[in-house]
Chains A and B, each alone.
Chain A
């Protein structure tokens, strides 16, 4: 099993009141699965994704990644795991504005990019239709191109898992389908995808849909 969540709860304090974002969430995701996570705004989808990615320690419960207690790992080890095995794609792209496209993809490399990593980054840009714009900056790209760039960055280290948070939320249907197609290709190559989405574009690829409501798993 790639991911195992047991009774995962995450609470925040907001304006003095306690808000439960994830409420005793329990689920398992196998290696090679394509899982879509759905739910209304504020249902805890993003919190779940960040928690699965080792970015946000749960208030209670446990998250296992590849049999290891994710939050029992020292921070540096967790960072290494994130760098090597997990790719992130966000709705807002989160690209570095002063780096060119190649630089943004290579940002995922653990240290100084090797020749092989540079080659792979250039290959990914080609695959995603951005090869001719490798020296451009993200500000010069359309929203669809930016999201494809974020996908290329997520793929650089050949991760086992891609966590995508509403990657099509800011895209037109054509670009949304293009991004989903790339995630599906990653899945077909054996990768695991957890995709938070409002749309239905991924339905044909998702093997399973988790539905969240007020932080709880409403349907699996």
Chain B
């Protein structure tokens, strides 16, 4: 272990060496910074992509639709919702059975009906809170609707000349518009989303829902006959519902997840490996440049710890600076260009302090690992070999 005084001396030597061999340090810094920037940008953009998809195709995430058993599927597919209703307590019944052993999750009760405002036909949708299996702590699908607010589609906003923060009368109730309405090209553009109890009150259907939306676990392959399994599991709890499993949506959702997993599995490791190789190569060059210095330090009685410290300390310092710059740059890129890529959820694109802290810790460690072999080369270097060179 280095004594405190020796640590200060080491730090001073590292800083002076960086100042002396600026190019080597600069290239190491740029390599690490680029890697951090890519990590930050890809993570924030992937999150933004997921959020955008969830928002734009609000129902896409829900590939299971549980509707009253007596619903005529012809009517359901034609209108997009069941004209029958069921008790909202059925949602509670199903929610109490949510465990990690069932093949469904993320339950949201909804009441969906056509409605008329100022002579225009629209959809009114009431949404309950989201129920998830205990311990999963997943974010709610879609969005949360705060008390006294509604989210409105772009067409409704256009007809009514409304924007975020304006008041809107729906039935006998007055609400505040909570969103910036953006055209999605889906029925959402003519939909008002309200809290479930508000929709029940407006529609005079207190305590009623007409659908429970859910997602399957995405762990069932076609060979497993997922529909049969889901019908068996759900039917055992709620015999009063029929289960509609939207394979296309399930596949789309699975594909989105797979894409993100592919990014995490291929792109990020490639960036990290390339970064590590780059840093290691520059560290090897640095060791070569400093053979005489290593030799004289040995001759002056300095130990391996001190010599390794010169190289690992440099890596840690550069890693820390690169992390700070890379996080700043990556975040700037996402904040600058993200909104044009994800216009609907642009306001949700934010810097991630958690990611920043993780990278501020991980990058110096990563740089030190990448420089470990060169540092060991320096430590094991035979000083006599250098000192005899004339």
A80 and B301 form a contact (CB under 8 A) = yes
Name the prevailing secondary structure of the B interface residues.
helix
B387 and A55 form a contact (CB under 8 A) = yes
B390 and A92 form a contact (CB under 8 A) = yes
Assess A83 versus B301: contact at CB under 8 Å? Given A47-B388, A112-B3, A112-B5. yes
Tell which of B9, B16, B295, B389 touches A112, judged by Cβ atoms closer than 8 Å. Answer: B9
Q: Report how far A95 CA is from B8 CA in the complex, Å.
A: 21
A111 and B292 form a contact (CB under 8 A) = no
Interface residues on B, range: 20 to 34
Is A90's CB within 8 Å of the partner chain B?
Answer: yes
Q: Chain B CB within 10 Å — which of A83, A94, A108 has the most?
A: A94
Cβ distance A28 to chain B, nearest Cβ, rounded Å: 23
Is A199's CB within 8 Å of the partner chain B?
Answer: no
Is A61's CB within 8 Å of the partner chain B?
Answer: no
Instruction: Please encode chain A, from 89 to 125, with 1 for each CB lying within 8 Å of some chain B CB and 0 for all others.
Output: 0111011111100010001101111000000000000
Cβ distance A181 to chain B, nearest Cβ, rounded Å: 23
B20 and A97 form a contact (CB under 8 A) = yes
B residues 273-316 touching A (CB-CB < 8 Å): 292-293, 295-303
List chain A residues, Cβ under 8 A from B300: 82-83, 88, 107-108, 153
List chain B residues, Cβ under 8 A from A47: 388
Tell which of A79, A82, A99 touches B13, judged by Cβ atoms closer than 8 Å. Answer: A99
Assess A88 versus B20: contact at CB under 8 Å? Given A50-B388, A55-B387, A111-B3. no
Instruction: Please encode chain A, from 44 to 59, with 1 for each CB lying within 8 Å of some chain B CB and 0 for all others.
Output: 0011001001011000
Q: Report how far A50 CA is from B3 CA in the complex, Å.
A: 29
A82 and B9 form a contact (CB under 8 A) = no
Is B21's CB within 8 Å of the partner chain A?
Answer: yes
List chain B residues, Cβ under 8 A from A99: 13, 16
Is A166's CB within 8 Å of the partner chain B?
Answer: yes
List chain B residues, Cβ under 8 A from A84: 301
List chain A residues, Cβ under 8 A from B383: 55
Cβ distance B287 to chain A, nearest Cβ, rounded Å: 15
B292 and A82 form a contact (CB under 8 A) = no
Cβ distance A182 to chain B, nearest Cβ, rounded Å: 19
Q: Please report the total number of A residues contacting B with Cβ < 8 Å.
A: 34
Cβ distance A216 to chain B, nearest Cβ, rounded Å: 19
Q: Report how far A108 CA is from B9 CA in the complex, Å.
A: 12
Q: Report how far A123 CA is from B22 CA in the complex, Å.
A: 32
Cβ distance A63 to chain B, nearest Cβ, rounded Å: 14
List chain B residues, Cβ under 8 A from A88: 296, 299-300, 387
Least CB separation from B14: chain A residue? A98
A79 and B301 form a contact (CB under 8 A) = yes
B387 and A50 form a contact (CB under 8 A) = yes
B residues 305-357 touching A (CB-CB < 8 Å): none
A90 and B387 form a contact (CB under 8 A) = yes
B390 and A91 form a contact (CB under 8 A) = yes
Cβ distance B300 to chain A, nearest Cβ, rounded Å: 5
B384 and A76 form a contact (CB under 8 A) = no
Instruction: Please encode chain B, from 351 to 390, with 1 for each CB lying within 8 Å of some chain A CB and 0 for all others.
Output: 0000000000000000000000000000000011001111
Is B144's CB within 8 Å of the partner chain A?
Answer: no
Assess A111 versus B16: contact at CB under 8 Å? Given A56-B384, A79-B303. no
Least CB separation from A92: chain B residue? B390
Is A191's CB within 8 Å of the partner chain B?
Answer: no
Q: Chain A CB within 10 Å — which of B3, B8, B387, B390 has the most?
A: B387
B residues 87-142 touching A (CB-CB < 8 Å): none
Is A169's CB within 8 Å of the partner chain B?
Answer: yes
A residues 33-78 touching B (CB-CB < 8 Å): 46-47, 50, 53, 55-56, 76
Q: Report how far A189 CA is from B230 CA in the complex, Å.
A: 96
Q: Report how far A50 CA is from B8 CA in the complex, Å.
A: 30
Least CB separation from B388: chain A residue? A46
Is B19's CB within 8 Å of the partner chain A?
Answer: yes
Q: Report how far A10 CA is from B13 CA in the complex, Å.
A: 35
Least CB separation from B7: chain A residue? A112
Q: Chain B CB within 10 Å — which of A76, A96, A99 has the most?
A: A96
List chain A residues, Cβ under 8 A from B387: 46, 50, 55, 88, 90, 94, 165
A94 and B21 form a contact (CB under 8 A) = no
Instruction: Please encode chain B, from 33 to 55, with 1 for each CB lying within 8 Å of some chain A CB and 0 for all others.
Output: 00000000000000000000000
Q: Report how far A107 CA is from B292 CA in the complex, Å.
A: 14
Q: Report how far A53 CA is from B389 CA in the complex, Å.
A: 16
Is B6's CB within 8 Å of the partner chain A?
Answer: yes
B301 and A110 form a contact (CB under 8 A) = yes
Is B17's CB within 8 Å of the partner chain A?
Answer: yes
3 shortest A-B CB distances, which residue pairs?
Answer: A112-B5, A83-B301, A98-B20
Contacts A88-B296, A98-B13 known; 14 new A-B pairs at CB < 8 A: A50-B384, A50-B387, A56-B384, A79-B298, A82-B301, A88-B300, A92-B389, A97-B20, A99-B16, A107-B296, A107-B297, A111-B6, A111-B9, A169-B390
Residues of B participating in the A interface, judged by any CB pair closer than 8 Å: 3-6, 8-9, 13, 16-17, 19-21, 292-293, 295-303, 383-384, 387-390
Residues of A participating in the B interface, judged by any CB pair closer than 8 Å: 46-47, 50, 53, 55-56, 76, 79-84, 88, 90-92, 94-99, 103, 107-108, 110-113, 153, 165-166, 169
- Can you list 6 residue pairs at the A/B interface with Cβ under 8 Å? A55-B384, A81-B301, A83-B300, A84-B301, A98-B20, A153-B300
